[in-house]
A and B are shown apart, each in its own frame.
Chain A
Amino acid sequence: MTNGKSFLSRQDLLALAVLAALLFIVLPVSVDIFRLNLVGKYLTYAFVAIGLVLCWGMGGILSLGQGVFFGLGGYCMAMFLKLEASTPEATKIQSTPGIPDFMDWNQLTELPWFWEPFKSFGFTLAAILILPAIFAFIVGAAMFKRRVGGVYFAIITQAIAAILTILIIGQQGYTGGVNGITDLRTLMGWDIRTDSAKYVLYFLNGGLLMAVLVLCLFVLKSKLGRLLVALRDKEDRVRFSGYDVANFKIFVFCFAAVLSAIGGAMFTLQVGFMSPSFVGIVPSIEMVIYCAVGGRLSIFGAVYGTLLVNWAKTTFSETFPELWLFGLGALFIAVVLVFPNGLAGVYRAQVAPRVKKWLHTRKSGPDAPVQDPQAAE
C-alpha cells in the first residue's frame, strides 16, 4: 500500500535523480552540442511516449494518432516563430511583405485570420496547451461516450492522423504544405539557432520533462491511476461501481494529448522547423514503438525507450540507411515476443529487487517503501 503522505516513493526519487543526472550532467559533458541537440529532439518524443504510457499502458486506450497532437503543439509554436521571422523588413523582396514566405509563393496577399492571434506569445503558449486538449476532448467524447474502444479507436485515431496530414499538405498556402514551416529564427528576439540557445533549450526541455514525470507520478499514484488500470482490466465492473467510464477515458486521452503537444512545441524550438512528416501515421506508430520498447507500464521506461530507439535509428541510418526500417520492425517484434513489458520489464525483473535491497540496507525504517506492482519505478 502506498502511504498517503507523499506520492513520491524513495524509488521514484531515485529514478528521477538518475534520469536528471543523465540528462543534466552526463550527456552535456560527454557529447558536443550537435549531438546534445539531437538528444533534445529525441526527448521531445519522450513526452508523447509518456502520454502513451498513461493512455495505452495504464488505461488500455491505444492511440495510433499521437502525432496529431505533437503536430498541433509543434505547428502552434512554428506559426508564432514564423510570424516573428516574417517582418516586413525581412520579407521586403516578396510581392506582399510581412507575411510568411510560403504564403507569398502561394499568391496569398494577406495573413489568414487564424494566423493573426499567433502574433502573441501568450496566446501561442495557451494554444499549445488548450488546442490539443479541445481536439482530444471532441474526439474522445465522440468515441468514448459511444463506447467505441480497442481496435476501432486505434483505427479512427490513425485515420485522423492521415486526414490532418493530407489537410496540411493540401492547404499549402496556409500551412507551408509538405515542406512544413521552415526557416525559424528567433523567439522574442532571441536567436534560437546559436549554440548557447540550443543549450538553454535543451535544459528547458529536460526540466519540462522532469516536471511532466512528477505530474504523471502524481496522477498514477492517485486513485485515478488505479482506476485506469481497473478499467483496462474490467471496464464493466468500473461502470457498475458507479463511475462514468467515458469521462476517465476522455481525461487521460486529453492529458496524453497535452503532453504530446508540449513535446511538439519543444521540437519546433530545438529543431527549427515543423513539417507534416511528424504528424502522420508513420511517426505516430513510431512513437508507440518507443513506448513499447521502453515498457508501456513505466513512464521512466518510456523515456529510456525513446532515447534508445532514436539513438539506434540515428546510428544505424548513418551507417546502413536502407536497413533501418527493417531493424525497427525487428525490434518491435522482439519486444512483443521476448520482452512484453519492454526495458522497464527487464529492469523490474532483474535490477529492481537489488535496488530495493540496497535502499533498505541504506536506510531501513518503518516508512520504507513497499511498492505495489503497478507503480512505475
Chain B
Amino acid sequence: MNTLANNTDFLLSIENLTVSFDGFKAVNDLNLYVDENEIHVIIGPNGAGKTTVLDLICGRTKATDGSVKFRNRELTSMKEHEIVREGVGRKFQNPSIYEDLTVFENLEISFPRGRNVFGALTFKRDEEVVSRVREIAEMVFLDTLLDMQAALLSHGQKQWLEIGMLLIQDPELLMLDEPVAGMSVSERKQTAKLLNEITKGRSVLVVEHDMKFVEDIAHRVTVLHQGKILSEGSMAKVQADPKVIDVYLGH
C-alpha cells in the first residue's frame, strides 16, 4: 500500500479506508487525520457514512481495505476490547448505559481495572475507585445522583453518564456519536462546556448534526458525502464551500 506516510505525528490516521456491504461502499477510500488535543467533527447528510467511520475505528465493523492507525499502531486487526485498551473510547448514538445499575456502579464498571474474569471477582471498591468515580461524576454533572438507578435519569443525563463512563477510562481519543441529540438548549450548552473541558490532554472525534453545536466546539470539520470527503477545514471554510452548501447545508 502506498500511503502518504507510514508513521505520522497524528494521533489517529485513517488511510485509504474502504468498507463495502454487498458491493455498496459505505466508506470509500477515506483519508482522515486527527491531531492531538483536537476536537474534530464529522458532519454530512444521512447515509454519508459518519457512524460507519466510528464503527470502523472502534472495531465494530471490519474494514474491507485500508488502515486505521492510532499512535502508529494498526487498529483494524484488533478486537474491540483491545482497541479500547489502546485508549480509544466510543459513545453510541443512543445513550448506552446499564439501566439496572446505579450511576456509581455504571461508572465503576467502566473504571479500567479488573477487566478479566479473575480480576472482576477480586475487584475491590477502594479509595482510588471511589474518588475517581466522584471526580468524574462531578465533571458530568451527576455527583448528587450517584446512588440513583440509571434507568431513572433523564435523556440528557444518560448521555452525560455515558460520556462519564468513557472519561473514567481516560482515553486518548474519545469518539462521540451525536452527543447532544435529544438534549434541551441548556443541556447543549453544558455539554459544549464539558467537551471543551475534557479535550485538555485528549482528542475528540464527534459526529453531529446540530450546526450550532458544531460551531461551538469544532476545531476542525470534515464533511462526508457518500462515503467520501467533500470538504475539510475550519467551520467557516467548510460553511463557505459551495459543494457543501449544495449537498448538505442548503442555500
A binds B: yes
Please list the residues of chain A having a beta carbon within 8 angstroms of any beta carbon in chain B.
Answer: 1, 4, 219, 222-224, 226-227, 229-230, 232-234, 236-245, 247-248, 251, 372-374
Interface of A, secondary structure class, is helix
Q: How many angstroms from the CA of A238 to the CA of B162 in the assembled complex?
A: 12
Is B98 within 8 A of A234, CB to CB? yes
**Contact status A241-B120, CB under 8 Å:** no
Give the contacting residue for A234; candidates B81, B85, B96; CB below 8 A.
B96
- Chain B residues contacting A1 (CB-CB under 8 Å) are 102, 104, 125, 147
Can you spell out 9 A-B residue pairs with CB atoms less than 8 angstroms apart?
A: A4-B124, A222-B120, A222-B122, A223-B120, A233-B100, A240-B58, A242-B81, A242-B85, A244-B79
Give the 6 A-B CB pairs with smallest separation, nearest first: A223-B123, A242-B84, A224-B120, A230-B98, A237-B96, A223-B120
Rounded to whole angstroms, the CA-CA distance of A245 and B114 in the bound complex is: 13
Contacts of A237 in B (CB 8 A): 92, 96-98, 162, 165
Interface check B31, CB cutoff 8 A: no
Contact residue among B81, B100, B116, B169 (Cβ-Cβ distance under 8 Å from A374): B100
State in angstroms the CA–CA spacing of A251 and B110 once bound together. Answer: 20
Q: Which of A227, A232, A245, A372 contacts B109 (CB 8 A)?
A: A227
Contact of B35 with A by CB under 8 A: no
Interface residues of B in 78-137 (CB under 8 A from A): 79-81, 84-85, 89-90, 92, 96-102, 104-106, 108-110, 112, 114-117, 120-126
A239 to B92, CA, bound (A): 12
* Bound form: Cα–Cα A234–B125 in Å: 22
How many inter-chain residue pairs (CB < 8 Å) link A and B? 94
Query: Which of B102, B105, B112, B125 is close to A242, meaning CB atoms less than 8 Å apart?
Result: B112
A-side contacts of B80, CB under 8 Å: 239-240
B199 at the interface (CB under 8 A from A): no
Contacts of B98 in A (CB 8 A): 229-230, 233-234, 237
A234 to B100 CA separation, bound complex (whole angstroms):
10
B149 within 8 A of A: yes
Min CB distance B193 to A, Å, is 25
Give Cα A243–Cα B86 distance, bound, in whole angstroms. 12
Chain A neighbourhood of B96, CB < 8 A: 234, 236-237
Q: Are A229 and B126 in contact (CB under 8 A)?
A: no
**Distance in angstroms between the alpha carbons of A248 and B115 in the assembled complex:** 10
A372 with B102: CB separation less than 8 A: yes
Q: Please give 6 more A-B residue pairs, beta carbons under 8 A apart, in addition to A222-B123, A242-B81.
A: A226-B101, A237-B92, A240-B81, A242-B115, A244-B81, A244-B115
How many positions in chain B have a CB within 8 Å of any CB in the partner chain? Answer: 40
CB distance from B105 to the nearest CB of A (A): 5
A237 to B95, CA, bound (A): 10
Q: Check A234 against B97 for contact (C-beta < 8 Å).
A: yes
For B99, list chain A residues within 8 Å (CB). Answer: 233
B200 to chain A, nearest CB (A): 22
The residue in chain A whose Cβ has the minimal distance to the Cβ of B100 is A229
Q: How far is the CB of A109 from chain B (nearest CB, A)?
A: 47
Question: Which residues of chain A come closer than 8 Å to B125, judged between CB atoms?
Answer: 1, 4
Give the Cβ gap from B123 to chain A, nearest Cβ, in Å: 4
Taking each of A222, A223, A237, which has the highest tally of chain B beta carbons within 10 Å of its own beta carbon? A223
Of chain A, the residue at the smallest CB distance from B126 is A4
Say whether A374 contacts B121, CB under 8 Å.
Answer: no
Contact between B115 and A243, CB atoms less than 8 A apart: yes
B131 CB to nearest chain A CB (Å): 14
Q: Is the CB of A238 within 8 A of B84?
A: no
**A88 to B81 Cα, complex, angstroms:** 59
Residue contact B109 to A226, C-beta cutoff 8 Å: yes
A242 to B79, CA, bound (A): 10
Q: Which of A230, A243, A251 contacts B101 (CB 8 A)?
A: A230
Set of chain A residues within 8 Å of B101, measured between Cβ atoms:
226, 229-230, 233, 372, 374
Give the Cβ gap from B128 to chain A, nearest Cβ, in Å: 12
User: Are B116 and A241 in contact, CB atoms less than 8 angstroms apart?
Assistant: no
Residues of A within 8 A of B124 (CB): 4
- Measured in the bound complex, the distance between the Cα atoms of B118 and A219 in whole Å is 11
B100 touches A248 (CB 8 A): no
A243 pairs with B81, CB closer than 8 A: yes
Nearest chain B CB to A324's CB is how many angstroms away?
35
